């Protein structure tokens, strides 16, 4: 029996590159965002709040990344999965701390392995998703 195993994780350098790409994408859209990168365990690896980004984007960007890494799927996929079941729609977000059910969180996959996630807050949920996806693609 083995007693340990290795898990791939996003490097600090790659996390910073993701933050830089997200800021570049946001600036091109005229948005001020917060962007968070978490490792495979959901712990914060890199973060920046652009000048002018709303205070609430600090927590929302981190929670979007946490949601994406926790389930290995983009946060925008949650609402379509639960919207038609009232028990799930009202129960799941209340029962799962930090769960976000709209766009802005994207998992980071490298060679088929989940290594972290990026979360963006500051635009519409669609804009946040697009920025996070572009940033994720910068390292995948």
Which phi and psi (to 5°) does residue 105 adopt?
A: -110, 130
- Please check whether residue 3 lies inside any domain of the structure: no
The distance from CA 119 to its chain's CA centroid, rounded to whole angstroms, is 3
Query: What local confidence, expressed as pLDDT, does residue 5 receive?
Result: 87
Q: List pLDDT tens digits, range 104-132.
A: 999 999 999 999 999 999 999 999 999 99
- Please check whether residue 2 lies inside any domain of the structure: no
- Please check whether residue 133 lies inside any domain of the structure: yes
Query: What local confidence, expressed as pLDDT, does residue 84 receive?
Result: 96
- Please check whether residue 60 lies inside any domain of the structure: yes
pTM of the model: 0.94
Query: What local confidence, expressed as pLDDT, does residue 139 receive?
Result: 84
Domain ranges, residue 29: 12-137
The enclosing domain of 55 has a CATH number of 3.30.450.150
Q: What is the mean pLDDT of residues 16-44?
A: 98
Average pLDDT over all residues of the chain = 96
Q: Is the dihedral of CA 26, 96, 137, 81 positive or negative?
A: negative
Number of folded domains that form the chain: 1
| Structure token digits, residue 40 | 């495979």
């Amino acid at each position: 029996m083995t007693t340990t195993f290795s898990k791939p994780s996003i490097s600090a350098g790659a996390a910073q590159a993701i933050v830089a790409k997200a800021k570049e994408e946001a600036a091109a859209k005229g948005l001020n965002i917060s962007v968070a990168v978490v490792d495979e365990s959901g712990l914060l690896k890199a973060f920046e709040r652009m000048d002018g980004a709303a205070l609430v984007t600090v927590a929302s960007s981190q929670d979007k990344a946490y949601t994406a890494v926790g389930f290995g799927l983009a946060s925008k996929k949650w609402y379509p999965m639960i919207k038609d079941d009232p028990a799930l729609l009202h129960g799941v977000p209340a029962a799962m701390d930090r769960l976000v059910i709209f766009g802005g969180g994207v998992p980071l996959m490298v060679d088929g392995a989940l290594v972290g996630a990026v979360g963006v807050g500051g635009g519409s949920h669609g804009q946040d998703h697009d920025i996070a996806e572009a940033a994720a693609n910068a390292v995948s």
